[in-house]
Structure 1
Amino acid sequence: MDQARRDSLQSLIRRLGLVEAVDHPTLLIELERAMTHVSSGRADHNERLEFLGDAVLRLAATLYLDQHYPELTVGESSSLRAQLVSDRWLAELGDQIQIESCLILGPKALGDAAARETIRADATEALIGAIYSSSGSLEPIIDWLAPHWQATTAAVLEAPHRFNGKTALQEWSQGQGLGLPDYRTEERSRRHGDPQRFHSRVHVADQVLAEGHGGSRKEAEQNAAAAAIQTLAGRDAPH
């Protein structure tokens, strides 16, 4: 690893607030692997660290919620954790820490703008795996992620329909005696990472309430449900 690359990775460590680990040789080696995308053609890429990071992230988020929000039910904690480990959340975090400045990508990935968010999310997950692999501890991961989780949790608890619109819409429709919402979702492109790959319309009692797009079927349906909740809130608001 040349000095320029070492400086780039050390800068990333500083952005994470892990200053005490800047000169940790094992961490630098693991970070180099975490920042190497499979498209680079290198044998030592980040897929295994991404796999590890996925499991570590879920455990760390579970421990965080158990410690800071013990009053939540298991169901509420599960729904909230889904937001704290989502691909969208990981991509946004990767953007905040400027992870793309450290990534080693092959020509195909470099030219695929639609996949950029997915690549950023996967690399952030691999980064989490690298920190755990080099430290053997969840502590530095929780220390780094806790402020980000705190902000997301506050937003979710303040406006849950924005993050779990399907549950909120189902509760409303059943409360009105209208049965379950019906999502009619279609794939409109086959580009991996396209944020408008899927389009969904949500119907309640055969009436279209709203529509939404997303990079996955689930995301499109969630966005349609959130839009429906906002529409219903507007109807009920005083004029």
Structure 2
Amino acid sequence: MNKFESLEKKLNYQFKNKSSIEEAFQHASFANEEEGLKSYDRREFLGDALLDMVVSEYLYQKYPSKDEGDLTVLRAQYVDEHALNAIGLYLDLDSYIKFRPQKYHKNQVSESMRGDVVEAIFASVFLETGYQEAKEVILHVYHSLLSQDKDAFEGQKNYKSILQEHYQKKYHKLSISYQVYKTQGPSWDCTFYTYCKDGDQIIGQGFGGSKKEASQMAAKDALERLKKNHEQI
């Protein structure tokens, strides 16, 4: 029996190596306890870059009149943690993800974990077939989800997008960056502390259970500081 049948149907893709794909679902808290297993961290890293490329290319072609600032804001809405969580829920990933609740201090899959697995799955398709087919799978998933819920990628306030748009419109520059300056806790339950920076200047700080969440909180802090300085956001 193919336990990935339901997932493959939603992806419109059949995994060529069923044993290899298991790695995409193994959280570090699970993999670290089992000899010879690997977590999804490396695939998530690759999938993150892949998703940025696919979505950037798609938006570039779909909106020829939008400038780089508008495209940056729009892309963020499609690849942030909320968007990836929505995809993970659509793909019904929770039943596949393996983790150790007693070490992760939670007994359910988190949003960040679900999003990481989405990226790891897309990376797995890329590793099996290359960029073009991975791109087709990614766009198929996005279009399928949007056909069910046209607001799927607009349900959460995206502080990074709001901040970037503000800087683009007021200062005509794209100089915002995010830097993790400290981590705390074990790899399976790590808290990330992040600076939001305008060039070399720190304009906000935040923390969270993932790099994406921490950067969102740093952007939120930067926006709150701007409002205190009476800037119109």
One-letter code aligned to 1:35: F
Q: Which residue of 2 aligns with 1:122?
A: 116
Q: Indicate whether 1:78 and 2:40 are aligned.
A: no
Q: Deviation of residue 30 (structure 1)?
A: 3.6
Q: Indicate whether 1:44 and 2:37 are aligned.
A: yes
Aligned sequence identity (%) = 21
One of 94, 115, 123 as aligned partner of 2:88: 94
Partners of 2:24 and 2:43 within 8 A in 1:
yes
| TM-align CA RMSD | 4.5
In the alignment, the residues of structure 1 paired with residue 89 and residue 119 of structure 2 have an alpha-carbon distance, to the nearest angstrom, of 13
In the alignment, the residues of structure 1 paired with residue 123 and residue 152 of structure 2 have an alpha-carbon distance, to the nearest angstrom, of 23
Partners of 2:70 and 2:165 within 8 A in 1:
no
In the alignment, the residues of structure 2 paired with residue 168 and residue 78 of structure 1 have an alpha-carbon distance, to the nearest angstrom, of 8
In the alignment, the residues of structure 1 paired with residue 137 and residue 46 of structure 2 have an alpha-carbon distance, to the nearest angstrom, of 16
In the alignment, the residues of structure 2 paired with residue 141 and residue 85 of structure 1 have an alpha-carbon distance, to the nearest angstrom, of 11
Q: Which residue of 1 aligns with 2:216?
A: 219
In the alignment, the residues of structure 1 paired with residue 82 and residue 166 of structure 2 have an alpha-carbon distance, to the nearest angstrom, of 22
Q: Indicate whether 1:53 and 2:47 are aligned.
A: yes
Structure 1 unaligned spans of 5+ = 175-189, 199-212, 231-239
Structure 2 unaligned spans of 5+ = 172-183, 195-205, 228-233
What TM-score, normalized by structure 1, do the two folds share?
0.61
What TM-score, normalized by structure 2, do the two folds share?
0.62
Q: Indicate whether 1:11 and 2:6 are aligned.
A: yes
| Matched positions, count | 201
Q: Which residue of 1 aligns with 2:136?
A: 139
One-letter code aligned to 1:39: S
Q: Deviation of residue 65 (structure 1)?
A: 0.5
In the alignment, the residues of structure 1 paired with residue 15 and residue 109 of structure 2 have an alpha-carbon distance, to the nearest angstrom, of 31
Structure with greater proportional helix content: 1
Please give the secondary structure, in 2, of the residue aligned with 1:100.
coil
One of 15, 29, 36 as aligned partner of 2:19: 29
In the alignment, the residues of structure 2 paired with residue 124 and residue 109 of structure 1 have an alpha-carbon distance, to the nearest angstrom, of 22
Partners of 1:100 and 1:120 within 8 A in 2:
yes
